[in-house]
């Protein structure tokens, strides 16, 4: 391999830098509107804790045999 041959394509470097600049711009925008995120944080926490997580847990338990005495046992599609 010749010594002057590039191992990395310059276009790949430009794409990588552009991707980092997009991330940097996103983080700047988030920081700029940080008060707004603080206002929606309680709703987000309650939504995750009382709605989203129970739905995911119910979906997972729907594929198990569970009677509250024994640990859940995976049975797959037999519940349906």
12 token code pair: 């790949």
Residue-wise pLDDT tens digits, 7-47: 655 665 556 656 688 899 999 999 999 999 999 999 999 99
pTM over 0.75: no
Q: According to the model, what pLDDT value does residue 38 have? A: 94
Rounded Cα distance between 36 and 49, Å, is 20
Residue 59: both structure tokens together: 């979906």
Average pLDDT over residues 45-56: 96
As a whole number of angstroms, the distance between CA 3 and CA 75 comes to: 61
């Amino acid at each position: 391999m010749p010594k002057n041959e590039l191992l990395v394509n310059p276009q790949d470097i430009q794409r990588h830098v552009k991707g980092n600049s997009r991330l940097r711009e996103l983080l700047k925008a988030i920081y700029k509107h940080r008060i707004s995120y603080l206002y929606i944080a309680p709703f987000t926490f309650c939504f995750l804790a009382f709605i989203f997580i129970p739905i995911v847990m119910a979906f997972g338990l729907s594929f198990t045999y569970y009677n509250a005495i024994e640990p859940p046992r995976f049975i797959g599609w037999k519940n349906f």
